[in-house]
Amino acid sequence: MLALVGVFGLLRTEITPGGAPTTAVISRQAAYFLRGLAAYLRSGHEMLDNWERAGAAAGPYTNHQVLAGPQFLYLAESRRLSLDPDATPLREVDVVQVVVKARRRGRGGQAHYLLQYDERARQYQLPGGHIRTSDADHRTAAIRELEEELAGYYYDPDRDVLTNLGMIEAVQPSRTFGAVTAYRVTFFQLKTESDHLPLGPGSHWTPEEQILAPAFRIGQASLNVTALAQLDTTLPGGLKGLPLSVPGRLHRTMTEVIRDRPWEVVGLAVGVIGLALSLIPLLL
């Protein structure tokens, strides 16, 4: 019991005047924490809940979020890993991710990388996911993930090529389960002769200069690019040295145009409405 309570940093060892070791509470706040635990025991209430729900978020947190089981686990595991970079992972996962690199019209020729939003992890990352037992190999898993995540896309071996970029091992807390996880990430790059690439609802093109920036956000969501950053150091010329996945430049969708230039779109809409209203008297 003392060892378990000691994990919370509540106790310290002291030597009595008689020379015998004894255990003492480290502060009044720690004593109140112990009394609070005792109150939970007496009442039968649970301190943590919501263990069935997968997913953890980055701060700031509400009181309810911090005391949700998976979120508390994520914070505890993040601290464990920060205290010991060689901390033993609680789980191991095989993952595939696909690099899709393209230039887009209206972006000054800068290369962009395709990212997908992960609802449970609440982060953006490269298209891809876990390898399933039904997948024949890593390449098959990569093709399946592309076809699942990019709406309307299908892999055509006469048109598309997946190039293996290597495997990276990355240890980090899982944003889905909260536990420190050893990820074995096999990277591929998609190259296609098609000049059109269908996107899913969670797709987002990220500029090359920001893809590995630690503080970069898409809205409020961060990027899960820990393994990608490690891959960057292993590639000749890094990610910038990779060829484009798509020939030519991709057209931006109307949704992207509205998101990138909202005021210009509003101004254009107001102008069109004004022109239409001015023509109505001439037509009557």
State the total domains in the chain.
2
pLDDT mean over 125-147: 96
Q: Which helix (H) or strand (E) holds 14?
A: strand 11-15
What's the CA angle centered on 33, arms 88 and 9, to 5 degrees? 35
CB atoms within 10 A of CB 271: 10
Alpha carbons within 13 angstroms on the beta-carbon side of residue 218 total 22
How much is the pLDDT for 254?
Answer: 43
pLDDT at 92: 97
172 has pLDDT over 90: yes
Q: What is the CA radius of gyration of the chain?
A: 26
Q: Classify residue 159: in a domain, yes or no.
A: yes
The residue to which tokens 């998609």 are assigned? 190
Evaluate whether residue 283 is within a structural domain. no
Q: Is the confidence at residue 157, as pLDDT, over 90? A: yes
pLDDT band, very low/low/confident/very high, at 282 (cuts 50, 70, 90):
low
The reported pLDDT for the residue numbered 256 is 46
pLDDT confidence of residue 266? 57
| 98 in the same domain as 19 | no
pLDDT at 238: 96
Same domain, 14 and 140: no
Residues 38 and 147 in one domain: no
44 phi-psi bin (left φ>0, alpha ψ -120 to 50, beta other): left
Domain with 101 in it: 91-252
pLDDT, position 257: 41
Report how far apart the first and last C-alpha atoms of the chain are (Å, whole number). Answer: 89
Same structural domain for residues 127 and 240? Answer: yes
Q: Is residue 66 part of a domain?
A: no
Is residue 128 located within the same domain as residue 3? no
d(CA 33, CA 31): 5
Are 110 and 203 members of one domain? yes
| CATH assignment at residue 229 | 3.90.79.10
pLDDT at site 264: 52
Residues 244 and 133 placed together within one structural domain of the fold? yes
Tell me what percent of the residues of the chain surpass a pLDDT of 70: 88
SS3 label, residue 85: coil
How much is the pLDDT for 270?
64
Are residues 150 and 22 both part of a single domain?
no
Residue 88 has pLDDT above 50, yes or no: yes
pLDDT grade for 259, boundaries at 50, 70 and 90: very low
- Do residues 41 and 100 both lie within one domain? no
pLDDT at 231: 97
- Residue 85 falls inside a structural domain: no
Mean pLDDT of the chain: 88
The answer on pLDDT for 28 being more than 80 is yes
Q: Is residue 81 part of a domain?
A: no
Read off the pLDDT band of 96 (50, 70, 90): very high
Q: Are residues 128 and 234 in the same domain?
A: yes
- Whether residue 80 lies inside any domain: the answer is no
146 DSSP assignment: H
pLDDT in tens, 103-124: 987 656 789 999 999 988 889 9
Res 262: pLDDT: 54
109 and 203 share a domain? yes
Out of 166-170, 182-186, 196-200, 263-267, which region has the weakest mean confidence (pLDDT)? 263-267
Query: Looking at the domain assignment, is residue 55 inside a domain?
Result: no
pLDDT for the residue numbered 109: 73
**109 in the same domain as 235:** yes
Domain assignment present for residue 272? The answer is: no
